[in-house]
Amino acid sequence: MKELEEKIKTEGNALSSTVLKVDGFINHQVDPVLMDKIGRTFAQYYKDRGITRILTIESSGIAPAVFTALHMGVPMVILKKQTSKTLMGDVYQTNITSFTKGTSYELTLSASYIDPDDKILIIDDFLANGEAASGASRLVHMGGAQVESVGILIEKSFQKGRKRLEDAGIEVRSLARISRLGRGIIEFTQADL
Ligand code: 5GP
């Protein structure tokens, strides 16, 4: 997606050979016009796939996921990183190691928000080693449902996330794919959408 690549080129900041900072338009401040375009792009691509729900991981996946859900006319479910007292009843949980923080947490989904006949689209901001998306897929499977695809805003194609997901039979579609990062260097390879 050209607009996303342009935004990354002009406002993204490569902190190291593995971490890209996009706080100005995705992770801290959010650009709603860009999020709307991202939502339209995913919705157009996935329109004939029978998707019934969109799942995302809090917090940076929420903005693109909600715009995608809006344009597809389906609900969006936020997978929680912290359990709360209001999260009652049956829950599915799986352990995830955070790429940026290096800590681990229990990703949680209430059984109320997944049905065995659901076809799920998982949306997230980044794909690095595929921990978050693999964990989200495990929760979908615990609910007896099917992962139709994983839609990613920024994939770092030099990390192993895509291979890990594809080896597990999960399709990945990324709007921007970064082949190399370094201080002041952001190189792209052909994106999926
Ligand atoms: P993974 O689980 O695929 O290893 O990493 C993906 C998750 O880690 C995303 O949900 C995202 O929040 C975070 N992440 C991974 N790489 C980056 C990065 O380069 N920059 C930022 N801002 N977040 C990242």
Q: Is the pLDDT of residue 84 over 90?
A: no
Q: How far is the CA of 150 from the centre of ligand 1 (A)?
A: 14
Kindly report, residue by residue over 160-169, the tens digit of the pLDDT: 999 999 999 9
What is the structure's pLDDT at 85? 65
Q: How far is the CA of 118 from the centre of ligand 1 (A)?
A: 26
Contact between 130 and 160 under an 8 Å Cβ cutoff? The reply is yes
Q: How far is the CA of 167 from the centre of ligand 1 (A)?
A: 20
Ligand 1: atom nearest CA of 18 is: 19
Which of 125, 170, 178, 185 gets mutated to test ligand 1 (max ligand atoms within 8 A of its CB)? 125
Average pLDDT over residues 98-115: 92
Average pLDDT over residues 179-189: 95
42 lines ligand 1 (CB under 6 A): no
Q: How far is the CA of 36 from the centre of ligand 1 (A)?
A: 21
Rounded to whole angstroms, how far apart are CA atoms 93 and 109? Answer: 7
What is the structure's pLDDT at 54? 98
Question: Could you tell me the pLDDT band of residue 98, with boundaries at 50, 70 and 90?
Answer: confident
